[in-house]
């Protein structure tokens, strides 16, 4: 049936995994990518490589975009824009909420339907039941294509009609992910300076991250209530502790840029007179 076919445009690691997941489920898959050779393995498995982006659009009503950002969508679809009308574009390219809103507007003006998506898993987990994706845009389009969307990730999280919402939720997750993984790289570099391998640190790092759920829940309630009391942690304690991290890093000859950026937040908070408050007051400092 027509619903069992899909076009995938953009064959980075994510787009390739998505196309493979559709082939696994028996979908007829049409592909297009700026660098055509990235389609080779998928074509061998039965996918069709379109000669042009326009041909790829015309092949199916449902079109999945997996690109570096929205600028790539314009680069690819501008010459093919006559074929956007009547199609549903599921844009899983990451970008700002503003770019997602403008992109949705552009597609809608051309007579197409735009669903914004933000995928929360790496390529190896595409096609699995537990992985999840944020969506926003026309509810009708989300409902109509739900089964096809659930091929990409088994769980979908529809946030609302505003095309910026899925992008925003994705960015809120990335704002945690990139600094957190950078903190891990820093720890590994610091450990390595002392001859300790990443695999030796891994269980401790995992336990540390797993414990974050406690802090997130504990502080969420207090932050929403405007409570930054220093009954559990004090900024002055954190400032000293973070100073110890910076010095341990410097003593090991490891780059201090990352811990110094965090230390600077403690310092500014203390200098603003909040040494006796919880470090959660940093939220207010950042907002002002
Ligand atoms: P890549 O950046 O590797 O994919 C890039 C794709 O975009 C390629 O198909 C590339 O074409 C195309 N592209 C980029 N710029 C242009 C352009 N100017 N014109 C035409 N095509 C262009 O990303 P991933 O596949 O890793 O990820 C895709 C999206 O998913 C990204 O937005 C990413 O943030 C998001 N994401 C990625 C995750 C991951 O772990 N990889 C996890 C969750 C989300 P070409 O092959 O020719 O270079």
- Examine the pLDDT at 110 and tell me if it is beyond 70: yes
Kindly provide the b/e burial profile for residues 85-94, where b requires at least 16 CB atoms within 10 angstroms of the residue's own CB.
Answer: eebbbbbbbb
Q: Token match 């592909």: residue?
A: 31
Residue-averaged pLDDT of the chain: 97
- The token duo for 226 is 């405007």
Q: Is the CB of 79 under 6 A from ligand 1?
A: no
Q: Could you report the per-residue pLDDT of 39-77, keeping only the tens digit for each?
A: 999 999 999 999 999 999 999 999 999 999 999 999 999
Rounded Cα–Cα distance for residues 114 and 145 (Å): 12
State the pTM of this model. Answer: 0.92
- Stretch 183-212: mean pLDDT, rounded? 97
Residue nearest ligand 1's atom 19 by CA: 72
Quick check: ipTM above 0.85?
yes
Of 278, 288, 194, nearest to 270 (Cα)? 278
Ligand 1 contacts CB of residue 12 (under 6 A):
yes
Q: Give the model confidence (pLDDT) of 242-261 as tens digits.
A: 999 999 999 999 999 999 99
Mean pLDDT of 24-40: 98
d(CA 86, CA 137): 16
The residue ranges of DSSP E strands in the chain, in sequence order, are 5-9, 28-32, 48-49, 62-65, 88-91, 113-119, 132-136, 155-160
What confidence score (pLDDT) does residue 2 get? 45
**What are the sequence ranges of the domains in the chain?**
2-161, 170-287
Per-residue confidence (pLDDT) for residue 3, from 0 to 100: 53
Whole-angstrom distance, CA of residue 248 vs CA of residue 204 = 18
Under the banding of pLDDT at 50, 70 and 90, the label for residue 193 is very high
Q: Both tokens of residue 112?
A: 């197409």
CATH class of 170-287: mainly alpha
Assess whether the C-beta atom of 38 lies below 6 angstroms from ligand 1. yes
Determine the topology of domain 2-161 in CATH: Rossmann fold (3.40.50)
């Amino acid at each position: 049936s027509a619903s069992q076919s899909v076009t995938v445009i953009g064959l980075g690691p994510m787009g390739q995994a998505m196309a493979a997941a559709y082939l696994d489920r028996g979908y007829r898959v049409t592909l297009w990518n700026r660098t055509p050779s990235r389609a080779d393995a998928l074509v061998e498995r039965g996918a069709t490589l379109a000669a042009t982006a326009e041909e790829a659009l015309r092949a199916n009503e449902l079109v999945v975009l997996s690109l570096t950002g929205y600028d790539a969508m314009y680069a690819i679809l501008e010459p093919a824009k006559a074929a956007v009308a009547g199609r549903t574009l599921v844009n899983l390219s990451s970008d700002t909420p503003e770019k997602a809103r403008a992109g949705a507007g552009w597609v809608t003006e051309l007579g197409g339907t735009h669903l914004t998506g933000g995928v929360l898993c790496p390529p190896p987990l595409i096609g699995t039941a537990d992985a999840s994706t944020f969506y926003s845009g026309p509810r009708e389009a989300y409902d109509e294509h739900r089964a096809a969307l659930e091929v990409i990730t088994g769980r979908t999280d529809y946030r609302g009609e505003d095309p910026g919402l899925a992008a925003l939720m994705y960015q809120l997750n990335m704002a945690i992910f990139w600094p957190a993984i950078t903190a891990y790289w820093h720890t590994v570099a610091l450990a390595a300076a002392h001859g300790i391998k990443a695999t030796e640190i891994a269980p401790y790092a995992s336990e540390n991250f797993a414990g974050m759920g406690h802090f997130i829940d504990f502080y969420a309630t207090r932050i929403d209530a405007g409570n930054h009391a220093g009954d559990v942690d004090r900024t002055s304690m954190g400032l000293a502790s973070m100073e110890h991290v910076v010095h341990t890093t410097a003593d090991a000859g490891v780059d201090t840029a990352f811990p110094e950026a965090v230390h600077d937040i403690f310092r500014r908070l203390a200098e603003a007179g909040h040494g006796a408050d919880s470090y959660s007051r940093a939220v207010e400092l950042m907002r002002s």
